[in-house]
Chains A and B, each alone.
Chain A
Amino acid sequence: MLSKHFSEHNFVSGHTACAGCGQALAARLVVDAAGKNTIATNATGCLEVFSTKAPQSSWNIPWIHSLFENSAAVGSGVESALRYLGKIDKVRVISQGGDGGTSDIGLQALSGMLERGHDVLYVCYDNEAYMNTGIQRSSLTPFSANTTTSPPGKVSTGNPKLKKPLVEICSAHHIPYSASASVGYPQDLQRKVKKALSIRGPKFLQIHCPCPLGWRYEPGLTLEIARLAVGSGLYPLIEYEYGKLTKVFKIPKPKPVEEYLKLQGRFRHIVNSQEEVAKIQKIADKNIDYYQLK
């Protein structure tokens, strides 16, 4: 039975995400902004697992679980079927996946969807590691983060690689819209979902979703951490249209990255090293300069 008070949500209570989960919040913001006439596909990952504890579902819209690697391909198929049925003007299609499912194993399916020009919004929920299988690094894990496959020690200071520039990679397909958002700025996030869905053709949105369990922090800090990522310049909120940078979320007074790092256990091994913190400050400064965030 559905309580009528909550029937306006397209993603409902009773899911099994951890308390304070950024991805649970992001997913609800996305499908609430998208509206009822939406069909969603979902790659394997935390979101799929915590929203569909058999035989239950938290989705109040048609939703289908794909494999780990092919959410974009299944979304392409759904869109093609709607087109064939003459219903594509009435129904929006959203394909969803985690950072691992999108930037690593699902990148080929995503690129194909963008290149073929399907009228689908792809949403990547970026919690910066493979969380559902126990915090392994992905190509969207940030520099120096401690994960089970990038453990700090004598010869390592955590993840040795920079985040893959996925918003740019998608934008390079000359699609109408490729952008990033954050749960720390929910109204901005929902504006971007609505904007994307008002455009016909392939769209991409990458959403920063802090993860209390994987990043090692208390659940009540999810929004503060999300805002510090944006406010320090480490997670620039940017919008590309047809390959051109058209809008950035301004941060007139950037916060030192240390404020962001020190709240999270995944960076505990570097916060007391000026040298290591300086390396991360450099990444933020580069973003601030490159995207003209100030």
Chain B
Amino acid sequence: MFSILVAKAGSSKDNKTGSWRSVKRPKFLQKDCIGCGLCKLICPEACIEGEEKNTYRPDYDYCKGCGLCAYICPKKDIEMILETEEK
């Protein structure tokens, strides 16, 4: 009876918000990354993964292209590039 009022935990992952990106997306250069994890800590979409240096990357299925990871990276190892540039 209440099933309609109860949603499955974490089920919003079905909603691929990456399609929202219009102009830019982050490019993780994986060159000077020190593995501080700050990008992963501050991504509002919780869509960055990585464990060691030069392994961090975004999941473009969800990334909305806000640019906050590029702002916080202390090594400037994340660049915002045009959506139209090659992957």
Instruction: List residues of A whose CB falls within 8 A of some B CB.
Output: 1-3, 5-7, 9, 11-17, 19-22, 24-25, 28-29, 51-61, 183, 186-187, 218-224
Contact of A19 among B10, B15, B61, B65 (CB under 8 A): B65
Contact of A59 among B10, B59, B61, B67 (CB under 8 A): B10
Contact B44 A57, beta carbon cutoff 8 Å: no
With A19-B64, A57-B10 known as contacts, the answer to whether A224 contacts B15 (CB < 8 A) is no
Q: Which residues from chain A contact B68 at a C-beta distance below 8 Å?
A: 20, 25, 219-220, 222-223
**Interface of B: prevailing SS:** loop
Whole-angstrom distance between the alpha carbons of A9 and B43 in the complex?
12
Contact A14 B17, beta carbon cutoff 8 Å: yes
7 intermolecular pairs with C-beta atoms under 8 Å apart: A11-B46, A15-B45, A19-B65, A28-B44, A28-B46, A57-B7, A220-B71
Contact of A16 among B17, B42, B43 (CB under 8 A): B17
Q: Which residues from chain B contact A24 at a C-beta distance below 8 Å?
A: 44-45
Whole-angstrom distance between the alpha carbons of A5 and B13 in the complex?
12
Whole-angstrom distance between the alpha carbons of A15 and B46 in the complex?
10
Nearest 4 pairs between A and B by C-beta? A220-B67, A14-B12, A20-B66, A19-B64
With A25-B44, A220-B66 known as contacts, the answer to whether A5 contacts B49 (CB < 8 A) is yes
Which residues of B from 38 to 82 have beta carbons under 8 Å from A?
Answer: 41-47, 49, 59, 61-62, 64-68, 70-72, 80
Q: How many residues from B make CB contacts under 8 Å with A?
A: 33
With A14-B62, A220-B71 known as contacts, the answer to whether A186 contacts B41 (CB < 8 A) is yes
Contact A20 B67, beta carbon cutoff 8 Å: yes
Q: Which residues from chain A contact B42 at a C-beta distance below 8 Å?
A: 25, 183, 186, 223
Whole-angstrom distance between the alpha carbons of A15 and B14 in the complex?
10
Contact B67 A58, beta carbon cutoff 8 Å: no
Q: How far is the CB of B7 from chain A (nearest CB, A)?
A: 4
Contact of A14 among B4, B15, B43, B67 (CB under 8 A): B15
> Which of B10, B12, B42 has the most chain A CB atoms closer than 10 A to its own CB?
B10
List 8 additional contacts besides A6-B13, A15-B17, A58-B10; criterion CB under 8 Å. A7-B10, A13-B12, A13-B45, A14-B11, A15-B15, A56-B11, A223-B42, A224-B71
